[in-house]
Amino acid sequence: MNLTETFLRFVRFDTQSDELTNMTPSTPGQMEFAVYLKGLLEEMGLEEISLDANGYLMATLPANTDKDVPVVGFIAHLDTAPDMSGKHVNPRIVEKWQGGDILLNAEKNIVLSPAEFPEMNNYIGEDLIVTDGTTLLGADDKAGIAEILAAVAHLQAHPEIKHGKVRIAFNPDEEIGKGAHKFDVEMFGAEFAYTMDGGAVGELEYENFNAAGAKVTIKGRNVHPGTAKHKMVNSIRVANQFAQMLPRWETPEHTEGYEGFYHLVAINGTVEETTLTYIIRDHDRARFESRKRELEHLVRKTNEEYPGCCSVEINDQYYNMREKIEPVMHIIELAERAMREAGVEPRVQPIRGGTDGAQLSFKGLPCPNIFAGGENFHGRYEYVPVSSMEKARDVIVNIIRLLAE
């Protein structure tokens, strides 16, 4: 299986997810892609292939050894991010890139430049797959899917590499936080797994944010502005006041590493009613709970000045998988060894976001995250070095081989 050609075929499927449809999968393109992949798995001769009505595709590479080897799984997601169109993706390969700007789109003067993305300089001399500047690329996570399939094909072509039973799964709607919601962990049947959904080469992640969504609703009172004195309550102005009470520096644009934040993602309002939509993030569970309490405190404070006008609804979304991975740290050590044997230096770091692996870990399937190789996910400047995908494939093969050894 040619990894690059496989990936280029995959990105032409429009699988952008949509959190507003309330369906699983959230868009028909994801099921179309899953059906195509099911056919590909059948052609490869895999076993226990299943595709359910929600777009969850699973399959088995059977063991070729009599040794008692734990069942390991590899998982990637079908969808691309809602942030930018994934329709009519038109990728091209910049062969042996020698540095400097890459003109993605001459008509619109869209340029991928190391001046803006200095990490590009890590890939001088390599083949880069880029967009035409009008869509995202889809390496998140079609690179992961292609890498898993390429690793399986490699093992099929090299029966001298002994391995236990391997399970693979491709799921919908990761980008809208629902990828693990209907994932049947018991049916998957792996002792542990890895999501191939990280970024640059070497990333290995088993810590992620604790996450919640919050909707603050502010009720106003609309009166004709000519006679509004001491009568009108402008919910938009109250909402602005509320937003200003949160810590100014605890926002995504001012934080990094393990620092958490409040992120105002949407405001919708009129004089009569305004809603503020937030996401709350923190790696530390105690600080995470404190952040939620702070929002509730500000609601009470607002209601002291404008009685009964303010309310908040907070819903937890996912938690830091670290507490589920620490008891089985051998799976991290296994991945680190597999990377080093593939010529990759592991970079263990916290995820400033979420992953299907976090939710799966809390469902009983320990599931850290490994690099898929792409950069600048979710936008027109996304690209993936071919060598990064090849190294990810090699890491998968090494994990499977080392586990049997």
pLDDT of res. 390: 98
Question: Is residue 141 located within the same domain as residue 269?
Answer: no
Mean pLDDT of 246-250: 96
Question: Is residue 307 located within the same domain as residue 326?
Answer: no
Question: Is residue 357 located within the same domain as residue 379?
Answer: yes
**Is pLDDT at 355 greater than 90 in this prediction?**
no
pLDDT of res. 236: 98
Q: What is the CATH number of the domain that holds 109?
A: 3.40.630.10
**Catalytic residue status for 304:** no
- pLDDT tens-digit map of 33-50: 999 999 999 999 999 999
Mean pLDDT of 78-88: 95
**End-of-domain residue from the set 318, 336, 352:** 318
With both helix axes pointing from N to C terminus, report the angle between 386-404 and 330-341 in degrees, rounded to the nearest 10: 120
Interior/surface letters 172-202, b for 16+ CB within 10 angstroms, e for the rest: bbbbbbbbbebbebeebebbbbbbbbbbbbb
pLDDT of res. 376: 95
Catalytic residue among 14, 79, 173, 394: 79
Distance (Å, whole) CA 40 – CA 19: 28
pLDDT of res. 353: 81
Question: Is residue 48 located within the same domain as residue 97?
Answer: yes
pLDDT of res. 317: 87
Count of domains forming the chain? 2
Distance (Å, whole) CA 405 – CA 400: 9
**Is pLDDT at 389 greater than 90 in this prediction?**
yes
**Is pLDDT at 109 greater than 90 in this prediction?**
yes
**Is pLDDT at 177 greater than 90 in this prediction?**
no
pLDDT of res. 70: 97
Question: Is residue 138 located within the same domain as residue 224?
Answer: no
Question: Is residue 231 located within the same domain as residue 178?
Answer: no
pLDDT of res. 275: 98
Question: Is residue 305 located within the same domain as residue 326?
Answer: no
Question: Is residue 264 located within the same domain as residue 342?
Answer: no
Distances (CA, A) of 272 to 45, 235, 268: 61, 6, 11
- pLDDT tens-digit map of 114-135: 999 999 999 999 999 999 999 9
Largest CA distance in the chain: 86
Region of 177 (left: φ > 0; alpha: ψ -120 to 50; beta: rest) is: left
Catalytic residue among 141, 173, 174, 382: 174
Q: What is the CATH number of the domain that holds 215?
A: 3.30.70.360
Split at pLDDT 50, 70, 90, the class of 62 is: very high
Question: Is residue 129 located within the same domain as residue 238?
Answer: no
Question: Is residue 168 located within the same domain as residue 54?
Answer: yes
Among 360, 395, 380, 388, CA closest to 190? 360
**End-of-domain residue from the set 318, 333, 359:** 318
Give Cβ neighbours of residue 296 (< 8 Å, ≥ 6 apart). Answer: 312, 314
Distance (Å, whole) CA 132 – CA 381: 9
pLDDT of res. 19: 87
pLDDT of res. 279: 95
Split at pLDDT 50, 70, 90, the class of 251 is: very high
Split at pLDDT 50, 70, 90, the class of 354 is: confident
**Catalytic residue status for 127:** no
**Is pLDDT at 195 greater than 90 in this prediction?**
yes
Mean pLDDT of 339-351: 95
Split at pLDDT 50, 70, 90, the class of 301 is: very high
Enclosing domain of residue 340: 3-207+320-404
Mean pLDDT of 376-403: 97
Question: Is residue 241 located within the same domain as residue 170?
Answer: no
Distance (Å, whole) CA 187 – CA 143: 25
Read off the pTM: 0.89
**End-of-domain residue from the set 318, 341, 357:** 318
Distance (Å, whole) CA 30 – CA 186: 23
**Is pLDDT at 90 greater than 90 in this prediction?**
yes
Question: Is residue 250 located within the same domain as residue 327?
Answer: no
Distance in Å from the first CA to the final CA of the chain:
25
